[in-house]
Amino acid sequence: YQGIQKLHSNSQIPKKKPRGGKLTCEDKKSNQELAKIRVLGEHVNRKLKVFKILSFTYRNRRKRFSLRFNLIAALYNYELRLPQTEFA
């Protein structure tokens, strides 16, 4: 995680608290904004794990992996567009 900037120069990582010190308010706010963006990707990863496509080794034909991955992504996007209703 910390070495990601060697691979991707545009990546952002949260600021760490210095040893024996505290983060500034600006650093805390920056970390919160970064976390808001990051959590969206984490929710997608969780949904893919629910469908078991990322949880286990894929054992079917390789040609079908991208098809299934795209179908799951389409289902997830469809679910996002549905109006959020509460069930009483």
16-29: per-residue pLDDT in tens? 899 999 999 999 99
Is there a domain that residue 2 lies in?
no
pLDDT surpasses 70 at 31: yes
Is there a domain that residue 32 lies in?
yes
Is there a domain that residue 15 lies in?
no
pLDDT surpasses 50 at 12: yes
Is there a domain that residue 12 lies in?
no
First to last CA, the chain: 42
Domain count, the chain: 1
Residue span of the structural domain in which 46 resides:
23-81
Which of the residue ranges 28-32, 35-39, 55-59 has the most confident prediction, judged by mean pLDDT? Answer: 28-32
CA–CA gap between residue 42 and residue 40 (Å, rounded): 5
Q: What is the structure's pLDDT at 86?
A: 59
Q: Is 36 helix (H, G, I), strand (E, B) or coil?
A: helix
Is there a domain that residue 3 lies in?
no
Tokens of 79: 């679910």
